[in-house]
Amino acid sequence: MEMDPDSPLDHLWKEYSQAFKDFDDLTLARWLAQTLGQLEGKAWRQSHPLVLAYRLGAQLGHDRQIWLQRLATPPAAYAESPCCRAPVLPLLTRDVRESGLICQHCNDVLVPFEELPVEFRSDLENWAADYAPIHAVAHWDDRRRKGAGDYDRAFENAAQQAEGLLATAGKVLAPKLLSLYPAVVWEDQDECLEVRPEDVEL
């Protein structure tokens, strides 16, 4: 969920984060560790309120280097991430082939795609390959839109297909990754195609 720093959404996000800024480092570290325990064992929508709250706290924790200070011990199932040394909590997105799995603490690449086990890469690659041309409909230029005849219908069809593929990520792909990671977050919206979390039914 990349945001324009001057957008109303970003200002709202900053307002939400104020609750965590009142936490001292020890309180924040304990809250993060406890919440990781609640997340463990499941594949979570990115839009889930608990995930959103955790992400707010986690990004503040990253800024304060909470995990480097060893103020709290995360649940044993969580390994240390190579990107920022926070507990491993991956995000699966439609850009998995290019970006791999994304760290929910620092937003960097947590696991490059080519480093995923072969038996997982195949399904993810096929899914991402199916998704790419569907997502691209939202970015067609004028020539391509005119060539499609009824662009509104093409856009709506693409949105419906995206809903199905995002549901596949939530029902099939993310749960499979739980054999590698204690918890997984998956992208459940496509802003370019105007697909909202509530449109993605599991």
Count of the separate structural domains present in the chain: 1
Q: How far apart are CA 188 and CA 132, in angstroms?
A: 15
pTM score of the predicted model: 0.91
Domain assignment present for residue 193? The answer is yes
Give every CB contact of residue 34 below 8 A, 6+ residues apart in sequence.
none
User: Does any domain span residue 1?
Assistant: no
Backbone angles phi, psi at 105, to 5 degrees: -100, -45
Model confidence pLDDT, tens digit, residues 88-140: 999 999 999 999 999 999 999 999 999 999 999 999 999 999 999 999 999 99
> Does residue 34 fall inside a structural domain?
yes
Give yes or no for a contact between 9 and 3, defined as CB atoms under 8 angstroms apart: yes
Report, as an integer, the average pLDDT of 68-90. 96
Task: Say if CB 105 and CB 28 are below 8 A apart.
Answer: no
Tell whether 163 is covered by a domain.
yes
**What is the Rg, in whole angstroms, of the alpha carbon atoms belonging to the chain?**
18
Residue 83 lies in a domain: yes
The region of weakest confidence among 67-71, 167-171, 186-190 is 67-71
- Tell me the C-alpha distance between 44 and 38, whole Å: 11
Range of the domain at 94: 8-199
Cα dist. 116→122, 126, 129, 167 in Å?
Answer: 10, 14, 17, 21
